[in-house]
Amino acid sequence: MAEDQLTIDTATIADNEDERQVEFDASIGGEPYRFAVQYDVLEALGAVVPDGNAAMMVRDHAETIARLGLKALARDADQARITISENDLD
């Protein structure tokens, strides 16, 4: 993967409360990917439980989530949706 910048498409951010994750599309060097970030990650980043504001938390922490997304992609690029979990936190 030559590019090292993940660009989140903020228009695709959607809260999936049933799965306790926020889903979004992103691209790296023009290559599209589908991502999900778990609520546990958002709670760790924001120090609050994502209760009704998870999508806004993704927007607020987009730069960090993009960096974590690169780690998740490197770990498991073959999935239809790449999940960013607590394992990706520094």
Does residue 63 lie within any of the structural domains? yes
Answer yes or no: is 10 within a domain. Answer: yes
CA distance 4 to 15: 26
Kindly tell me if the per-residue pLDDT of 76 is higher than 70. Answer: yes
Q: From CA 36, how far away is CA 25, in angstroms rounded?
A: 9
Higher pLDDT, 76 or 10: 10
Number of domains in the chain: 1
Quote the CA–CA distance of 11 and 24 in Å, as a whole number. 8
Between CA 50 and CA 21 the distance in angstroms is 10
Report which listed range, 27-31, 64-68, 86-90, is most confident.
64-68
pLDDT digits (tens, 9 = 90+) for 33-58: 999 999 999 999 999 998 889 999 99
Q: pTM for the whole thing?
A: 0.91
Provide the CATH number for the domain around residue 17. Answer: 3.30.160.140
Q: What is the rounded distance in angstroms from the CA atom of residue 84 to the CA atom of residue 39?
A: 10
CA dihedral defined by 30, 31, 34, 37, rounded to 10 degrees?
Answer: -70
Domain that holds residue 13: 6-88
